[in-house]
Structure 1
Amino acid sequence: MRKLLGSVRARATLGASLVVALALVAAGAAVLLSLRTNLVDQAGSRADSAARKVASQLVADRPYDELDLPDDEEEPVQVVDDEGRLVVASDDLEKISGTGVDAVRPGPASRAPKSGSAENGEKGEKREKGEKEESGEGSSDGGEVDDETKFTDGSATVDGETSDFRFAAVEVSTESKGDLTVYAGGSLSSEQSAVSTALTSMLIGFPLLLAVVGGVTWLVTRRALRPVAAITAEMSAITASEDLARRVPEPDTHDEIARLARTTNETLTALQTSVERQRRFVADASHELRSPIASLRTQLEVGAAHPELLDVDGAVEDTVRLQELAADLLLLARLDAGEKPGGARLDLAAFVREEVSQRTRDRVDVHTDLRSVEVAGSRGQLARVLGNLVNNAQRHARSRVTVTTRNDGAWAVLEVADDGSGVPASERERVFERFVRLDDARTRDEGGAGLGLAIARDVAVRHGGTLVVREAPSGGALFELRLPSPQSSAE
């Protein structure tokens, strides 16, 4: 069960079925309640109509035994006097409850007074006839029918059949008979039958409808998730084969699944690029390390065999080169791992002045034009950037290297320019790639492993800045480092 519910398709089907089930139950309850209320009101209206017909006859002073009672077994009638005695009841009434009077047959005393005498009967008939002519409602100056009707629910047995009824109670005030209450019932059999039929239909129809909804949801969800299954299968194949050149299928839609497929392929592309870059980096690093290590080993072996032939200066130079290359590789590894720069603030002019003053083996002089501007970041990483840019300029300059600092709005700018041959426009982005040397500008004998400018740009990006190369006024290369000033970052 847990495994089944772990499926999105199963959860969607179950969720849709539960929502529809709740909606159907609520709608069914509302329909049944409305149907029952409507039918009960109709039964009450029939009962009220029957009670008022009898009440109008009583107001017209018609004798009890001449009352025109409904002969329909679905409308039992009782007439009760002000002392609670039954004076009139339907002929077929056998049992009744809900009216407050359980008697179904009037007593002898109740039937005795008809109209008083024949003369009174004639006068009553004339009066009744005149009253009916004056008013269509059957009331006269000698009686009154209360406008208010009270309803109760109960049951009655008529002609051997027991049913539930809605009883209407109408009060009547007459001069000859006193105050009377007329009870008339409206059968609830049709209401019960209709509600029962509707409930049966719902109990049969709702499960079938839920089954249809569940089936349709299952099929639609399966069709909608088919691309996800294809993506999952392809990702499993990529994981098994370790072939990052493969891509997951992208559906021809514009929904979330299509965006998922595109994002997955973009991630695979980025991962493939990263892996290829790492492999290339490892291969290039191995190649770069092999040369100084082999040279140093050769010199040490020769020195061990022939001490007089040991080139100490060359061994030191190879050792320094190997140390610098190892440091560059370590810094690149930290940058690739996401190392964040510190937040220390330093004056860029004083920083450049101190770093340049410590350089003792430069081939050409380094000139400075420094203006005080504050930056925030890692002093060690920024020192590596400045050192790499100056070293690069030293290798290509003819007679002069210039370092400049200035403020440019929200940016602190550091520029390193030389008067060498410059960098061709088509190569100005390529020089920042790792282990890249321009054929006419760099050789392994001059020292550079092709990592200095790559490190400088990575550090600039980590500090939220940029590093680009342009043509210097003297015709050489001008490397411009831009770093956000702490004031603009705080804002």
Structure 2
Amino acid sequence: MRSVRARAALGATLVVAVALTVAGLAVLTVLRGNLTDRAGLEAEVAAREVAGQLALGVTYAELELGDEGTHPVQVTDEAGRVVAVSEDLDAISGTGTAEVTPAPSAPAPSPGGGGEEGDGDDEGNDPARGEVSSEAPDFANGTATVDGETADYRFATVEATTRQDVTLAVHAGSPLAAEQEAVDTVRTSMLAGLPLVLLVVAGVTWLVTRRALRPVEGIRRELAAITASEDLGRRVPEPDSRDEIARLARTTNETLTVLEASVDRQRRFVADASHELRSPIASLRTQLEVGEAHPELLDVPGAVADTVRLQALAADLLLLARLDAGERPGRAPVDLGALVREEVSQRAADRIPPEVSVAHGASLEVSGSRGQLARVVGNLLDNAERHAERSVAVSVRTDRGGVLVEVTDDGAGVPEAERDRVFERFVRLDDARSRDDGGAGLGLAIARDVASRHGGTLTVGTAPDGGALFTLRLPRQAGTGGEPAAGDG
């Protein structure tokens, strides 16, 4: 069963069916118990009436056994012999003995006990009186055949002691026909009404579920249309309600927005990468073709430069691809002070050698990939040297539980409106600069991505001299501490 509505309707119907069945059985059990107890009470009353007569000395022949058709009575002695039964009692079960004929040898109580005042052997000496047991009677279910008709009865057994100290058991029954009829009526009503109730429950659940899931169907259709058209600019309808379905629609639209932005970035990345790769590849091919036709005209330094640029661009693209794929950086300890000194030492012959300042007396260790962090520092230094006029400075220090690397130059700086855009891929703010001198516009984008994946940040501001100030903040490695002390290195 693939339909949610059908499963919901079936589940609700099954739950209601089980609940009604359990409730019905409980009602029938309680009803049967109450009616049975009522029949037992009536049987006890009838038995005690007969037991009272026996205790007063009424003979078996003179016993008034009440309405024999309603309350059949059987009296037995201590030996289990039947001494008295109701008139027209043909058969009985459930009383301990099935005999319905009084035994001729059973002793009978002496007459008396019902005489007028003054009767007795001597004045002031009344004959001994019997008694009826005050204990709770025993109950049992059985059958009795009275005047040819057999029915079920609830029997109560009450003991009575005669004047002759003979203990007799009086078994009186009360019919269970009313109990059985009431239980059958209730059971029939329940069985007749159960299918109707279940049908109503199933129908209501189907309709309610259909109404509740209608927005989901709208979301599904719109998503199917988006998938077919590949138009990520479309959005699914959002219901006015504040329930789970409305939240699902909003989350779906947010996901579509992120997906659309991601696809747009990917398309721009592919287009920009193709454009950037086309230039060095075309230049290199041209030089090689000229060199093949005219070896004396081959520009070997230019070919090498184009190859180096192509290699660097391929490395940048490969690193971005790994970052986009969610590659997690290593967790080795890296001393940022030593890393910055190493990067600066490799640039002694550059156009503007950077000046470096590293704090002493404090731990500058962070956790991450040394190679990727070296790429960040190198990209920041390359960017500063490309835009500086006379000086580039880099400093490393601790600040509020983190390590700060600041790279400044005395160039034109970054306009405030462009400070977020400068970290986008293939973005170069100096459009007049040639591509060969200005790079591909991936350095700062790579630097921010690497910083983010190391739990840090990379921001740009204004240097004291008016140029650009790039600040790399990384969390210090756990377990390190110490206060910074300023110093030059």
Q: TM-score with structure 1 length normalisation? A: 0.90
Structure 2: 5+ residue runs without aligned partners?
Answer: 121-125, 482-489
CA distance in 1, matches of 2:391, 2:58: 136
- Report the AA paired with residue 313 of structure 2: L
Among 52, 55, 62, which residue is 1:56 paired with? 52
Matched with 1:84 is: 80
Asked if the contact 2:422/2:428 (under 8 Å) is kept, the reply is yes
Please state if 1:69 is matched with 2:65: yes
1:15 aligns to 2:5 (yes or no): no
Structure number with the higher helix fraction is 1
SS at match of 1:75: coil
For 1:400, the aligned partner's letter is S
The root-mean-square deviation of aligned C-alpha atoms, in Å, is 2.5
Match of 1:145 among 112, 116, 132: 132
Deviation at 1:441, TM superposition (A): 7.6
Equivalent of 2:265, from 277, 290, 295? 277
Partners of 1:171 and 1:182 within 8 A in 2: yes
Match of 1:447?
A: 438
Counterpart amino acid of residue 17 in structure 2? A
Q: Is the 8 A contact 2:56 2:163 kept in 1?
A: no
What pairs with 1:140-179 in structure 2 (closer than 5 Å)? 142-148=129-135, 149-176=137-164, 178-179=166-167
Shift of 1:301: 4.0
SS at match of 1:226: helix
- Cα 1:470–1:24 shift into 2, 3 Å: same
Partners of 1:294 and 1:329 lie apart in 2 by 18
Secondary structure at the residue paired with 2:161? strand
Residue of 278, 299, 320 corresponding to 1:290: 278
In structure 2, how many angstroms separate the alpha carbons of the residues matched to 1:198 and 1:483?
Answer: 78
Question: Can you give the 5+ residue segments of structure 1 that lack an aligned partner in the other structure?
Answer: 116-120, 131-138
Displacement of 1:414 after TM fit? 0.8
Correspondence for 2:421 among 430, 434, 454? 430
Question: Equivalent of 2:116, from 120, 126, 151?
Answer: 126
Alignment deviations for residues 388-411 of structure 1 (CA, whole Å, 9 cap, x no partner): 111111111111000111111321
What whole-Å deviation, never above 9, does each CA across 1:147-205 have from its counterpart, x for those lacking one?
12111221101122111111111111111473222111011111111111122122222
Provide the C-alpha distance between the structure 2 equivalents of 1:323 and 1:113, rounded to a whole number of angstroms.
Answer: 129
**Segment of structure 1 superposing worse, 317-326 or 303-312:** 303-312
Residue aligning to 2:23: 27
2: CA distance, partners of 1:176 / 1:305: 149
1:477 counterpart residue number: 468
Q: Distance in 2 between matches of 1:489 and 1:49?
A: 94
Inter-partner Cα distance in structure 1 for 2:393 and 2:451 = 20
Tell me the distance in 1 between the aligned counterparts of 2:349 and 2:306.
16
Q: Following TM superposition, by how much is the alpha carbon of 1:74 offset from its aligned partner in structure 2, in angstroms? A: 2.0
Q: Distance in 2 between matches of 1:348 and 1:19?
A: 66
Matched to 1:19, the amino acid is V
Q: Per-residue CA shift, 1:402-453, capped at 9, x if unaligned?
A: 0111111321111111011111111111100111111468542523211111
Local SS of the residue matching 2:133? strand
Q: Any conservation in 2 of the 1:437–1:443 contact (CA below 8 Å)?
A: no
Which residue number in structure 2 is paired with residue 398 of structure 1? 389
Say whether residues 1:245 and 2:233 are aligned partners.
yes
Q: 2:22 & 2:128 partners in 1: Cα distance?
A: 53
Contact preservation (8 Å) 1:396, 1:441 = no
Distance 1:264 1:369 in 2: 50
395-404 vs 342-351, which moves further: 342-351
Partner SS, residue 105 of structure 1: coil
- 401, 405, 413: which is aligned to 1:414? 405
Determine the C-alpha separation between the residues in 2 that align with 1:54 and 1:128.
Answer: 26
Q: CA contact under 8 A between 1:171 and 1:180: conserved in structure 2?
A: yes
Letter of the structure 1 residue corresponding to residue 40 of structure 2 = G
- Are residues 489 and 66 of structure 1, via their aligned partners in 2, closer, same or farther at CA, if it must alter by over 3 Å? farther
- 1 CA distance for matches of 2:284 and 2:93? 119
- Percent identity over the alignment is 65
Correspondence for 1:47 among 43, 49, 53: 43
Q: CA deviation at 1:300?
A: 3.8
* TM superposition shift of 1:280: 0.6
1:127 Cα deviation after fit: 5.8
State the TM-score, normalized to the length of structure 2.
0.90
Matches within 5 A, 1:294-313: 294-307=282-295, 309-313=297-301
| SS of alignment partner, residue 465 of structure 2 | coil
- State the SS of the aligned residue for 1:454: helix
Rate the CA distance shift 1:326–1:112 in 2: closer, same or farther, 3 A. closer
1:281 corresponds to which letter in structure 2? F
